[in-house]
């Protein structure tokens, strides 16, 4: 379906607005690198690194609200989990990462910010083999200046041609840089067609998630979301499930096919950057931001600004995958 001119213009304006943002390599402030704070502009990395050439990196996306990083310890736990899944050993535990993030925010003078911890293999080796490779860890924070659309406005999506790899082919429970190439291709394709984002399917043709966020649907006041599988089960997704349960909203974690979309009345995405972003169209199928979406949007905004977190620890491991008729445990599970 071709996007209406009005919607195409809206997406184009968003993309043009992003080009005015200061280059991420030319900002003021500090970056925490391997236990030391360095001026942002002095941090330079070698061209020949395993992280750059082979996608050997993991990262987190976190948001600070009024000086407090929402679910910070869960993000630190997942960073270490992701690093372990890629067999990268870093000499920092959760407490050390927590202290480094807090100090990075303080030294940057930021209260509301995006926080990016990242771990990667360095330049000691240029080989697919990793034994003896050096591993680095950095944390940066910057002001967050991309507000999500108003919940009554929403975004438009299309179906991506690219699909999520299965658990038997990739460590989908790791927030690994290399796994985001597919998402980047899908989002670029969607925006060239005038949409804001793309809905991605798994190898079986079931709905997985968006390019950088999880997805929820509403039917008859009940919440539906794809069951945990070949996609990253986000911290925000788990937050949303708990918020819905706290409000007595029934939740179905189940397989959802593209042909099921017409049976839903509401749709929204969840993620650190997306927060709760309502969706008004997916490939010509329209949704209306309704009572459930608006209630959970408000609940999330309240939760991220609460003085403390009250959520159970985030789940990090996927379900075991099946191969040639036999069940194999996921590495690290």
Which residues form the catalytic set? Answer: 175
Q: How far is CA 86 from CA 61, 121, 176, in A?
A: 18, 10, 8
Please check whether residue 283 is in contact with residue 200, taking contact to mean a CB–CB distance below 8 angstroms: no
Name which of 214, 141, 202, 181 is nearest 55 in CA terms: 181
Phi-psi region of 277 (alpha: psi -120 to 50; beta: other; left: phi over 0): beta
Report the SS3 class of residue 291. Answer: helix
Q: How many residues does the chain have?
A: 333
Q: What is the DSSP string of 213-255?
A: SEEEEEETTEEEEEPSSSS---HHHHHHHHHHHHTT--EEEE-
Which two structure tokens, joined as six digits, stand for 193?
């067609």
């Amino acid at each position: 379906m071709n996007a209406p001119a009005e919607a195409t213009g809206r997406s184009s304006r968003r993309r043009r607005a992003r080009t005015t943002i200061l280059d991420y390599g030319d900002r003021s402030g500090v970056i925490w690198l391997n236990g030391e704070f360095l001026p942002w502009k002095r941090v330079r990395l070698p061209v020949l690194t395993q992280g750059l050439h082979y996608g050997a990196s993991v990262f987190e996306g976190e948001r600070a609200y009024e000086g407090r990083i929402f679910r910070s310890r869960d993000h630190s736990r997942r960073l270490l989990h992701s690093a372990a899944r890629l067999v990268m050993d870093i000499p920092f535990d959760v407490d050390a990462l927590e202290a480094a993030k807090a100090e990075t925010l303080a030294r940057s003078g930021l209260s509301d910010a995006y926080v990016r911890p990242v771990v990667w293999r360095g330049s000691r080796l240029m080989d697919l083999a990793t034994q003896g490779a050096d591993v680095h860890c950095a944390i940066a924070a910057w002001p967050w200046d991309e507000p999500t659309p108003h919940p009554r406005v929403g975004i438009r999506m299309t179906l991506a041609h690219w699909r999520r790899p299965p658990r038997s082919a990739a460590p989908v429970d790791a927030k690994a840089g290399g796994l985001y190439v597919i998402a980047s291709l899908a989002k670029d394709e969607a925006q060239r067609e005038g949409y804001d984002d793309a809905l991605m399917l798994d190898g079986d043709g079931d709905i997985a998630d968006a390019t950088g966020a999880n997805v929820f649907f509403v039917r008859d006041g009940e919440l539906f979301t794809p069951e945990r599988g070949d996609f990253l089960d986000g911290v925000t997704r788990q937050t949303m499930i708990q918020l819905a349960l706290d409000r007595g909203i029934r939740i179905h974690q189940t397989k959802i096919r593209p042909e099921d979309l017409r049976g839903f009345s509401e749709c929204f995405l969840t993620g650190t950057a997306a927060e709760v972003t309502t969706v008004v169209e997916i490939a010509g199928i329209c949704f209306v931001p309704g009572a459930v979406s608006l209630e959970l949007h408000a609940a999330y905004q309240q939760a991220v600004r609460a003085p403390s977190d009250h959520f159970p620890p985030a789940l990090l491991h996927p379900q075991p995958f099946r191969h040639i008729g036999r069940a194999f445990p996921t590495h690290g599970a």
